[in-house]
């Protein structure tokens, strides 16, 4: 399985399919497997690359201080290792902020942008989560975090409970200190004042019960030409909670940019 180490940190990623490159950046507190539906579906038309962000999955879990720019450089390392000149980025939650920062700081690298959640600011919850991950038992904190962002109906359904419990099985391989570092790095980032400088086609997606819905609306209203779509019967994890509607919205957008294979 492929790894990137160009930024000094081991980053594991999954690659599937053929066609224009499409990079999927997952949310806290998951790893790349939260995109299981999209990897299977989008790889029929794209070369899909889905990394584990540092701190998650098989990637390294540094517990020393790092910056959000270091996480962005991890993604750039994967893109360069694959030999891609330009990519479409799909990010969820912290992955969306990473995708947005890459589009702002490295516009020549990004062909199109899909922001799931679309939070560009720095709400107080991030500082609180940093403290919780540093202090609380990791299994307890991850479970509480997932319940915080998932639509209650999904979390209580048989399918939702199965998928969330499957994600929690990786907890013994993770580090609460490393995840706390991710949130501390995130608290230093506020991109709201820069949204007007985004120059690539952008789709903002929120679930109907997304805790970031208002933030997503704000982000979409400030990015020139951005499209905003709401996925019904879904929360912050709309790609996992209602994959059919999510995939349709994303593929319609990407097709409109003439990105995918016929």
Task: Please check whether residue 31 lies inside any domain of the structure.
Answer: yes
The total of structural domains in the chain comes to 1
Task: Please check whether residue 261 lies inside any domain of the structure.
Answer: no
Task: Please check whether residue 262 lies inside any domain of the structure.
Answer: no
Task: Please check whether residue 160 lies inside any domain of the structure.
Answer: yes
Per-residue pLDDT, 4: 96
Angstrom CA distances, 87 to 1, 64, 146, stand at: 21, 30, 29
Write the DSSP symbol of residue 62.
Answer: -
Angstrom CA distances, 229 to 81, 192, 244, 247, stand at: 32, 19, 14, 12
Task: Please check whether residue 87 lies inside any domain of the structure.
Answer: yes
Per-residue pLDDT, 256: 87
Per-residue pLDDT, 1: 66
Per-residue pLDDT, 259: 73
Task: Please check whether residue 176 lies inside any domain of the structure.
Answer: yes
Per-residue pLDDT, 261: 59
- How many degrees, rounded to 5, is the angle at CA 205 between CA 227 and CA 163? 160
**pTM: predicted TM-score of the whole model, two decimal places:** 0.97
Domain carrying residue 29: 3-256
CATH of the domain at 205: 3.40.50.1820
- Whole-number Å distance between alpha carbons of 108 and 140: 41
Task: Please check whether residue 70 lies inside any domain of the structure.
Answer: yes
How many residues would you count in the chain? 262
Per-residue pLDDT of the chain (262 residues; tens, 9 = 90+): 699 998 899 999 999 999 999 999 999 999 999 999 999 999 999 999 999 999 999 999 999 999 999 999 999 999 999 999 999 999 999 999 999 999 999 999 999 999 999 999 999 999 999 999 999 999 999 999 999 999 999 999 999 999 999 999 999 999 999 999 999 999 999 999 999 999 999 999 999 999 999 999 999 999 999 999 999 999 999 999 999 999 999 999 998 887 765 5
Is the backbone of residue 158 left (phi > 0), alpha (psi -120 to 50) or beta?
alpha
């Amino acid at each position: 399985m492929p790894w990137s180490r160009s930024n000094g940190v081991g980053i594991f990623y999954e690659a599937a399919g053929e066609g224009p490159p499409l990079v999927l950046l997952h949310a806290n507190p998951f790893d790349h497997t939260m995109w299981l539906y999209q990897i299977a579906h989008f790889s029929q038309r794209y070369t899909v690359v889905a990394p584990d962000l540092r701190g998650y999955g098989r990637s390294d879990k540094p517990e020393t201080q790092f910056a959000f720019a270091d996480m962005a450089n991890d993604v750039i390392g994967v893109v360069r290792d694959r030999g891609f000149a330009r990519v479409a980025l799909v990010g969820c939650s912290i992955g969306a902020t990473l995708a947005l920062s890459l589009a702002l700081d490295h516009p020549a690298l990004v062909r199109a942008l899909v922001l799931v959640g679309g939070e560009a600011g720095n709400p107080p919850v991030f500082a609180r989560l940093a403290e919780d991950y540093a202090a609380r038992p990791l299994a307890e904190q991850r479970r509480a975090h997932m319940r915080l962002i998932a639509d209650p109906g999904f979390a209580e359904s048989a399918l939702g409970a199965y998928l969330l419990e499957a994600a929690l099985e990786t907890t013994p391989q993770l580090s609460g200190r490393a995840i706390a570092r991710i949130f501390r790095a995130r608290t230093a980032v506020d991109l709201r004042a820069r949204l007007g400088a985004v120059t690539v086609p952008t789709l903002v997606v929120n679930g109907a019960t997304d805790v970031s819905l208002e933030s997503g609306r704000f982000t979409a209203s400030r990015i020139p030409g951005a499209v905003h779509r709401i996925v019904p019967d879904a929360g912050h994890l709309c790609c996992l909670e209602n994959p059919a509607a999510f995939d349709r919205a994303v593929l319609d957008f990407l097709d409109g940019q003439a990105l995918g294979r016929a």
